[in-house]
Structure 1
Amino acid sequence: MKIIKNSLKQSHEYIKGYVNEGDIVVDATCGNGNDTVFLAQLVGERGRVFGFDIQDAAIENTAGKLEELKLSERVTLIKDGHENMGNYVNENIKAVMFNLGYLPGSDHSVSTKADTTISAIEKSMELLVTGGIITIVIYYGKDNGTEEKEKVLDFLKTVDQKKFAVMKTEFINQRNCPPILVCIEKL
């Protein structure tokens, strides 16, 4: 049994420990739909997933996967930036998942940005129930993710430790900018 997993798989393990059937959750960056599907399966028929992305291709890819797996009725897909989630989500949520960077296989110039990501994290923290979790997988590297990584991590260092536990997990012996996992739990 592998204990040490890559950042994305580890984020799924953490989310599984928090999300139950009937919960309301957010996929802040739908991408190709894998996390949206994962969350839709976890919340079950009584739960709800709100999925955000700014790209038509991401929304279409996600919708296709959900339809194929007959999970569409559990998910509301929103073509808008995650920083605007407060315009669509008005209830308390149990979990939020972020995968920062760009849509795999697409234009690398279209990617998450520090300012809008920080705004979305702040809104997520407001909507999160006590005992809820936010996972952030930070992809960075030679494209434009390094600035976002630094600004997001700097912001997270300022989060009130009496209200939230913030943990960063990263591989220190891997080349080529391995993704970093950050988890935020509302206390």
Structure 2
Amino acid sequence: MKLKGILPFSKQLIDLAAAPGDTVVDATCGNGNDTLYLAEKVTETGHVYAFDIQEAAIQNAQLKTQDHAHITFIQDGHEHVSQYVTEAISCAIFNLGYLPKGDKSITTLPETTITAITELFNLLKPGGIIILVIYPGHAEGQIEKEAVLQFLSEFDQNLAHIIQYGFINQKNNPPFVCAIEESGT
């Protein structure tokens, strides 16, 4: 057995939750890597909602996914997800922090992330998963990490199973994954 890195592990979680025909959410579409993966996973019979506050991120993701017509790009904060998505979802993913190769002063924020998690959880199908890739290697990332972990640690265990996956012997505050699985109760 070989342990999976953080990003391959997040893809494995997508594979467990999303299937052709499903509706899914990329809460931070960034450069479009997860948006593309989700679009290929749910196929043209499903639908992807991809959020980002930055126009550059939306453009990058649109370019990467130009062969997929079943994606709705939304240039708005993920905390407004319930204004755009009303159907049940099987999976949502966040890559927290800042846009790679973008303006590092524009970051995700604990308050908006927690609001988005709550809204997305209310849309989850039984057994659905919300995946959070958390990057605490910068000052804002540390603040967001602490707030999100506090929020998740207080989440009702009767409603969800929550895991944390990461490598603890890496330097410089390595990224890690938290996953929230709707318990189906």
> Would you say same fold, with TM above 0.5?
yes
Indicate the residue corresponding to 1:59 in structure 2.
58
Indicate the residue corresponding to 2:42 in structure 1.
43
**Distance in 2 between the 1:37 and 1:142 partners?**
27
Indicate the residue corresponding to 2:79 in structure 1.
83
**Distance in 2 between the 1:159 and 1:7 partners?**
23
Mapping for residues 123-162 of structure 1, pairs under 5 Å: 123-162=119-158
Q: Any runs of at least 4 consecutive aligned residues in structure 1 with deviations exceeding 4 A, and if so which?
A: none
Mind listing any 5+ residue stretches in structure 1 that lack a counterpart?
Answer: none
**2:181 partner SS:** strand
**Distance in 2 between the 1:146 and 1:135 partners?**
18
**1:3 partner SS:** coil
Q: Deviations over 1:102-135 (max 9, x none)?
A: 0001111101000000000000100001110010
Q: Deviations over 1:130-151 (max 9, x none)?
A: 1100100001223311000000
Task: Report the aligned-residue RMSD.
Answer: 0.9
Shift of residue 25, structure 1, vs aligned partner: 0.2
Shift of residue 3, structure 1, vs aligned partner: 2.4
Percent identity between matched residues is 48
Mapping for residues 4-15 of structure 1, pairs under 5 Å: 4-15=3-14
What is the letter of the counterpart of residue 33 of structure 1? G
For these two proteins, the number of residue pairs brought into alignment is: 183
Indicate the residue corresponding to 1:163 in structure 2.
159
**Distance in 2 between the 1:45 and 1:145 partners?**
35
**Distance in 2 between the 1:24 and 1:97 partners?**
12
Indicate the residue corresponding to 1:178 in structure 2.
174
What is the letter of the counterpart of residue 14 of structure 1? L
**Distance in 2 between the 1:45 and 1:106 partners?**
30
Mind listing any 5+ residue stretches in structure 2 that lack a counterpart?
Answer: none
1:95 aligns with 2:91: yes
What is the letter of the counterpart of residue 129 of structure 1? K
Contact 2:137/2:175 (CA < 8 Å) preserved in 1?
no
Contact 1:21/1:44 (CA < 8 Å) preserved in 2?
yes
**Distance in 1 between the 2:42 and 2:138 partners?**
36
Tell me the TM-score normalised to structure 1 length.
Answer: 0.96
